[in-house]
Amino acid sequence: MAEIIREAPLGQIIRWATRNRLLKYPEEMEGFELPATYNAVLNSTTSQEKGQAPRSSPPVSRTVTREKTRRSSDGSNESATADETNTVSEDLEKAETQQPGPYEDPVALNISRTKSRLSTVPYTEDRLELEAELAIERTQTKPIMPTKTADGVVLVDWYTTDDPANPQNWSNGKRFVVSLIICVYTFVVYTGSAIYTSSELGVMAKWNLKPVDASLPLSLYVLAYGMGPLLWAPLSEIPIIGRSPVYAATMALFTILSLPTAMVNNFAGLLVLRFLQGFFGSPCLAIGAATMQDMYSLLYLPYALVAWVSAAYCGPALGPLLSGFAVTAKGWRWSLWEILWAAGPVFLIMFLLLPETSTPNILLRRAARLRKLTGDNRLKSQSEIDQQNMKPSAIVIDAIVKPIEITIKDPAIAFVNVYTAIIYGIYYSFFEVFPLVYPPIYGFSLGMIGVVFTCILVACLIGIAVYCAYLHYFLIPDIMKHGLRAQESRLVPALFACFGPTIGLFLFGWTARSDIHWIAPTIGITIYGASVFIVMQCIFVYVPLSYPQYAASLFAGNDFLRSAFACGSILFGRPLFINLGVGKGVSVLGGLSVIGIIGMFVLWIFGAKLRARSKFAI
């Protein structure tokens, strides 16, 4: 438990306040001894710098422990004892007569030079093969030989193959808890968007607004959590920052802003506060998938992503249910208070228990502790070296310019962005069309409209069952037997599911009549929701497999485009359905969804040729 609290934001604040006297890391505890592998590499490097042959065993003088490096009050190191000095002299005399030792030969030390996951590109065959090797190695405790660069820097890595500091080595229980926190956090933020829809009538009456104006607090929230990833995603990839501080700081602001949002007394203030809420809640969208990738191997990552996407998918749909009856009884502000009540406990849990999962950040801080312990500045993490070469201009280009460039120049990415934007926008248009169907045609109350939205939850469960069955019974066994196939093979479930959005929309649009039971249009929405869930899963696997070097940038760009179109659909949805009628209006959206049917088959058939011509794909 102490380790979890130490890695959480609260623990890091306690360490800072006490100058690292509480919640110490192993390197800071009395009796800690530098691993033999590090002694070996450090001593061999020192010998070569002095023109000596490498020694066959680590000299005692370089074997660093907390007792031998304890500082005196004036800042100087305590002197070695006479016995230690004699031992060092004997080792040096022996070294002069011995042949070159095994410091440059890990085999002679019987130590494997295990590759790091970070040495491979995510979502590639190399990453898959390496993770399979690491999965075997972490079942036994084997020391890892650190790498020495040409300029003498010793790269700090995990101490052993089963190092408990490595998120990939965490117990299933710990990974489950962290995943659950991220999923609940994601659910709360996404619920915060549509939970407001029950308050639109009250807002219209309060400030004498038109329906389109009253929907602005929802649309601006959605737009803002699409803009946030353009900042938060690259920020979390800076090694000195990591993911946990971004989560904690932004969720704190999200929670604080929820208070004035529920109390604001002018419409302009409500718009500004809702936009800021969405912006500071967006790290769940920006780096939630990256957190899952930190903990799970490529083979089983899809299961974790299914859980995370489900939280994001169901959040908006359940928002009206959570607020519908309460707003009817307590007033329009009640939905905004519910955001605060949900966000507060989630923030406390994150603050107390959410550890850092970014390997570059964890190893960077370990390297700093080892330098303090040994006084040797050659100990650095690879992320420190990479960070020194980071330029703000390069970060901006990767986050904003690169997604736009790839979208314009690469037909596959252009299709993915346009299609996902359309189906995501249609999803948010439901919040405008349901009030035009179920109350006037079927006599549903505001609370009962929220109950109808549970069909999205049912759709999500159907999508989860189908996609997880595909993973368990076909995809994962096939990968274990044959390795990664061509990226287009991941689109096979989508070839069947891509018909669902069109079928579901037309079924909803043309059965929403008083002479047809309300379950018929609801079934149409369920078909739409289940099929879209499967299509999105396939697309979001295809993109990083095809463009691994730009996966983070492409996802951030896709998040923005999806949210921007959803923002627009909230505003144009109601006028569309009123002017054309529900049947014709929904048919327009159904016709747009046909793009997905054509595009999905084109991508499946010609995807390999398109990737071969693209300078961005592999």
The number of C-alpha atoms within 13 Å of 293 and in the hemisphere containing its C-beta is: 19
Residue 63 has pLDDT above 60, yes or no: no
Residue 70 has pLDDT above 50, yes or no: no
Q: So what's the pLDDT on residue 36? A: 85
Range 336-347 average pLDDT: 96
23 lies in some domain: no
If asked whether residues 470 and 545 sit together in one domain, one would say yes
Across the chain, mean pLDDT equals 84
- pLDDT, one tens digit per residue, over 414-432 is 898 999 999 999 999 988 8
Residue 48 has pLDDT above 60, yes or no: no
Residue 356 has pLDDT above 90, yes or no: yes
- pLDDT, one tens digit per residue, over 485-526 is 888 888 999 999 999 999 999 999 999 999 999 999 999 999
Range 23-33 average pLDDT: 89
- pLDDT, one tens digit per residue, over 450-480 is 899 999 999 999 999 999 999 999 988 988 8
113 lies in some domain: no
CATH of the domain at 277: 1.20.1250.20
- What is the rounded CA–CA span in Å between residue 194 and residue 432? 11
If asked whether residues 347 and 469 sit together in one domain, one would say no
Range 21-40 average pLDDT: 88
Residue 225 has pLDDT above 50, yes or no: yes
Greater pLDDT, 131 or 63 = 131
11 lies in some domain: yes
129 lies in some domain: no
Range 268-274 average pLDDT: 96
If asked whether residues 427 and 503 sit together in one domain, one would say yes
Number of structural domains the chain divides into: 2
- Per cent of the chain over pLDDT 90 is 53
Tally Cβ neighbours within 10 Å of residue 448: 16
52 lies in some domain: no
Determine the residue type at 362. Answer: I
- What is the rounded CA–CA span in Å between residue 283 and residue 350? 13
Q: So what's the pLDDT on residue 100? A: 39
Residue 529 has pLDDT above 90, yes or no: yes
If asked whether residues 578 and 449 sit together in one domain, one would say yes
Range 595-609 average pLDDT: 90
Are the C-beta atoms of residues 195 and 339 closer than 8 Å to each other? yes
48 lies in some domain: no
Q: So what's the pLDDT on residue 65? A: 52
**Residue 356: helix, strand or coil by DSSP?**
coil
Q: So what's the pLDDT on residue 145? A: 85
Q: So what's the pLDDT on residue 113? A: 56
- What is the rounded CA–CA span in Å between residue 253 and residue 458? 33
If asked whether residues 342 and 243 sit together in one domain, one would say yes
Q: So what's the pLDDT on residue 106? A: 47
- pLDDT, one tens digit per residue, over 273-320 is 999 999 999 999 888 888 998 999 888 889 999 999 999 999 999 999
Q: Which of 77-91, 177-191, 507-521 has the lowest mean pLDDT?
A: 77-91
**Residue 540: helix, strand or coil by DSSP?**
helix
65 lies in some domain: no
Q: So what's the pLDDT on residue 44? A: 73
If asked whether residues 442 and 361 sit together in one domain, one would say no
Range 577-604 average pLDDT: 92
Q: So what's the pLDDT on residue 196? A: 94
If asked whether residues 588 and 490 sit together in one domain, one would say yes
Q: So what's the pLDDT on residue 511? A: 95
If asked whether residues 308 and 415 sit together in one domain, one would say no
Q: So what's the pLDDT on residue 570? A: 92
C-alpha closest to that of 528 among 318, 221, 317, 324: 317
Instruction: Specify the pairing of strand 147-148 against strand 379-380.
Output: unpaired
Contacts of 5 (CB under 8 A, 6+ apart): 11, 23, 352, 353
Buried b (16+ CB within 10 A) or exposed e, 407-427: beebbbbebbbbbbbbbbbbb
If asked whether residues 211 and 347 sit together in one domain, one would say yes
Q: So what's the pLDDT on residue 64? A: 52
72 lies in some domain: no
The C-alpha torsion from 196 through 201 and 207 to 212, rounded to 10°, is 80
If asked whether residues 373 and 258 sit together in one domain, one would say yes
- Per cent of the chain over pLDDT 70 is 85
The number of C-alpha atoms within 13 Å of 531 and in the hemisphere containing its C-beta is: 22
Name the β-bridge partners of 65.
33
> 558: domain range?
401-617
Residue 408 has pLDDT above 80, yes or no: yes
If asked whether residues 525 and 580 sit together in one domain, one would say yes
With bands split at pLDDT 50, 70 and 90, how would you rate the model's confidence at 396?
confident
With bands split at pLDDT 50, 70 and 90, how would you rate the model's confidence at 115?
low
If asked whether residues 347 and 453 sit together in one domain, one would say no
Residue 100 backbone phi and psi in degrees, to 5:
-50, 135
